[in-house]
Structure 1
């Protein structure tokens, strides 16, 4: 059951502002450097703030007509409140305004249903990293 809380305040942030949240949420047992992407400088990074606290982040990479979002992460104590959904909806809208025709991601297999709610479908491309199963999901619009 999704609990709806106050609307998120979303703003563009620096890649380095995403790293602490990515680390603690996604790969807390790895070194902090593990969550820094080689192409972070090429991305557009967004942060969602609830009551002034950065609670969710995502990075968007646009290449021609394709957009890829990566490293969507929400602090554990703020999960289930709809913040990641609000942030992802924002990213989809932002991507469409940049004239992309497809958005895709490397989804953790156990989170595929979340992305399915946004109209994304699984492809047949899968892989495993750090003991986690991933599937590439996408949606054309």
Structure 2
């Protein structure tokens, strides 16, 4: 059975590392403010298959480290989780939701209403663009 549940930051780490930065040290995937965030997982048969972290600052919410196990990609789990966090951020009265998206994933995020900004950067050899959407 598939469900979305809140998890701890530490429970996101193995999946973040395996999917996003497997060639970096494990510590690389930890975020300085992880303990301040809300962390969610799509759970399938008692296993976290997709994770994301959500951080609130003032009227804004940022999601980070959305990752799905490679064997589970293409099954709609990340989409379910994104729909969930968009709705969740609205319940917390966030006015804007944003993320640092890998450039090659931009079109995926646009399907949810996120729009490109002109803010870009490169980290660990990966090009990123900031995407955002208004929630009100």
With structure 2 as the length reference, what TM-score do the two structures score? 0.97
Q: CA RMSD in A?
A: 0.8
Q: TM-score, normalised by structure 1?
A: 0.94
Aligned positions, number? 135
Residue 104 of structure 2 corresponds to residue 110 of structure 1: yes
Return the alpha-carbon distance in structure 2 between the equivalents of residues 127 and 100 of structure 1.
25
Q: Cα offset for 1:121? A: 0.6
Aligned to 1:138: 132
Give 5+ residue unaligned stretches, structure 1.
Answer: 1-5
Give 1:75's aligned residue: 69
Moved over 4 A (4+): none
1:40-95: CA deviation from partner (whole Å, max 9, x where unpaired): 01100001101221100000001121000000000000000000000110000000
Which residue of 2 is the match for residue 128 of structure 1?
Answer: 122
Asked if 1:44 is matched to 2:20, the reply is no
Gaps of 5+ in 2: none
Report whether the alignment pairs 1:34 with 2:28.
Answer: yes
